[in-house]
Amino acid sequence: MEKLESQVADRLTRYYIVALTLVAVLTVSGLFLVRRTINNLNHDSRVVNVAGRQRMLSQRLTKLAILQTEKIPTNDSVKIDSLLHVWKVSHEQLLRGRIKMESEFVVLKSDSIKNMYKNLEPVFQIMYKNFLIVDSPEASEDEKKIALQTILSTEPLFLSQMEAIVFQFDKESYGRIRILEQIEWILDVLTLLVLLAEGVLIFRPVVNTTRRIVRLLAASEDAVRVANKKLKISNAQLLRAQDDLVRSEEEKYQLQLAEDRVRAAAIIEGQEEERKRFALELHDGIGQMLTGLKLQAEKLKQMQFDDEKQRLRFDKLVTLIQDTIHTTRQVSFNLMPSVLSDFGLSAALNLLCAQTSELSGIKIKYEGIKDRIALARPMEIGLYRIAQEALNNAVKHAESDNIKIKLEQNANRIFLEIEDDGKGFLISNLKNKSGSFLTQNGIENIRTRTQLLNGEMKLISSVDAGTRLVINIPV
């Protein structure tokens, strides 16, 4: 059934295309013929105008020749030579069959008219030569009168032949119009036949096929309606299943995210506890031992040395012990500053800026809260580690002259800002580790600590414009 309908549709489509093509060809052919005939008539009218102008010019030249020969005064300011030039140029163009009209050339297509112009050529040459004699200042009066008589005797022949040419143009134009009318009648009849065939062979089968298809559609409408109801039920069940699946995946993702955060928090907390323990071991163990060693060395230093070299060597030993104690205290402070637990985050950040500025030679200042604020121990450590990481990387990579750490509290949020005036970098190049004051590991560590504190991180930087890092933590 479907194959048969497809064959019928293909056949009707071919018929319809052929019919439309024929109608289009007939219509375009008629338009082309009409346009061509109009163009030819337009050319003929222009040639007729030129021929009429030639008759007028010959008569005017004859008039001027009579006036000039008889020396009769006239108000006509046109010279014979200018009119004679126009008359000759137009005649030569008509003789060649190509007439220049404004910006185009009109071509004579009639051989009979071309022959008539050739027959006119001797008459034109006789009149032209005699007009030259009349206009020549060197010719005598008798020669001019003889030339005038020749012009007067030849002009009727010239005018009659020009008139015959005009009548021939009119005859040929009328003949072309008659032929165009006949062709138009033929094209109209053919168009009507094509339209009739289109109605019988195309539209009638299309109407019958449409009626049959409408009956089939009406018969299948109930079945489609029942199928739609079943599809709606199945679709609703599918949507519920999809919602359950999405909800399950979301819960799984949130659970995985929570597990990752707990794991990261546990790792960081373990690191902080290990740092604290190691800092205490350095401070209370090795630090105390080094302090005792220093005290004993200072007591021995009071003794008299027989050899000056031994005394200098002992002085270097005391200085080395002092430097070792200072380094041990600095390492212990970096691992876990006691000022953080004793005096709070603001004091720890202030001291961090001062010590880093002293060691690096870069101007580093702390702004913001001066007094101690009540924060949970993990939040104090997290914010301090973020500031410490950002400051160390700024000192190493930013090539800046000034660094600022700012701590502020607004309502129930804590804002930590680290800003430098260094060379900056493109955020898009962060993964390439090129030119940034935050290495890839550094930014990941800061982002992880910020997420564990349920905060937000904002990084702003551009080349040669410095870098600004803002941490926003809810209290």
Say what the pLDDT of residue 16 is.
67
- pLDDT, tens digit (0-9, with 9 covering 90-100), for 405-441: 988 888 788 888 898 888 887 776 665 544 444 455 6
The DSSP H or E segment spanning 330 is helix 308-335
Backbone angles phi, psi at 363, to 5 degrees: -75, 110
In this predicted model, which residue has the larger pLDDT, 277 or 187? 187
Mean of the per-residue pLDDT values of the chain: 76
| DSSP assigned state of 411 | T
Q: In the structure, what pLDDT confidence band is assigned to residue 106 with cuts at 50, 70 and 90?
A: low
Q: What pLDDT, on a 0 to 100 scale, did the predictor assign at position 436? A: 40
Which residues does 428 contact at the CB level (< 8 Å), separation at least 6?
A: none
Q: Are 68 and 134 in contact (CB under 8 A)?
A: yes
More confident residue, 101 or 411: 411
pLDDT of residue 433: 46
What is the mean pLDDT of the segment spanning 267-292?
59
- Strand ranges inside 331-424, DSSP E: 363-368, 402-410, 413-420
Q: pLDDT tens, 325-379? A: 666 666 656 666 767 777 888 888 888 888 888 878 888 888 888 888 878 878 8
CB 184 within 8 A of CB 30: yes
Give the pLDDT score at 444.
Answer: 79
What is the full DSSP assignment across 201-243?
Answer: IIIHHHHHHHHHHHHHHHHHHHHHHHHHHHHHHHHHHHHHHHH
For 197, the enclosing helix (H) or strand (E) is: helix 141-198
Average pLDDT for 108-124? 81
* pLDDT at residue 328, rounded to an integer: 66
What is the mean pLDDT of the segment spanning 386-395? 84
Q: What is the pTM of this model?
A: 0.40
Q: What is the predicted pLDDT for the residue at 101? A: 60
Question: For residues 46 and 106, is the Cβ–Cβ distance under 8 A?
Answer: yes
Rounded CA separation 297/284 (Å): 20
pLDDT, average across residues 117-145: 86
User: Residue 460: beta bridge partners?
Assistant: 468
Percent of the chain whose predicted confidence (pLDDT) is above 90: 0
User: Is residue 425 packed enough to be buried (19+ CB in 10 Å), middle (13-18) or exposed (0-12)?
Assistant: buried
pLDDT of residue 271: 60
pLDDT in tens, 294-334: 666 666 666 666 677 766 777 777 777 776 766 666 665 66
Residues 109, 113, 119, 121: is their CA dihedral positive or negative? negative
Residue range 68-97, pLDDT digits in tens: 887 777 666 677 888 888 888 888 887 776
At 199-221, the pLDDT tens digits run 777 777 777 777 787 788 788 88
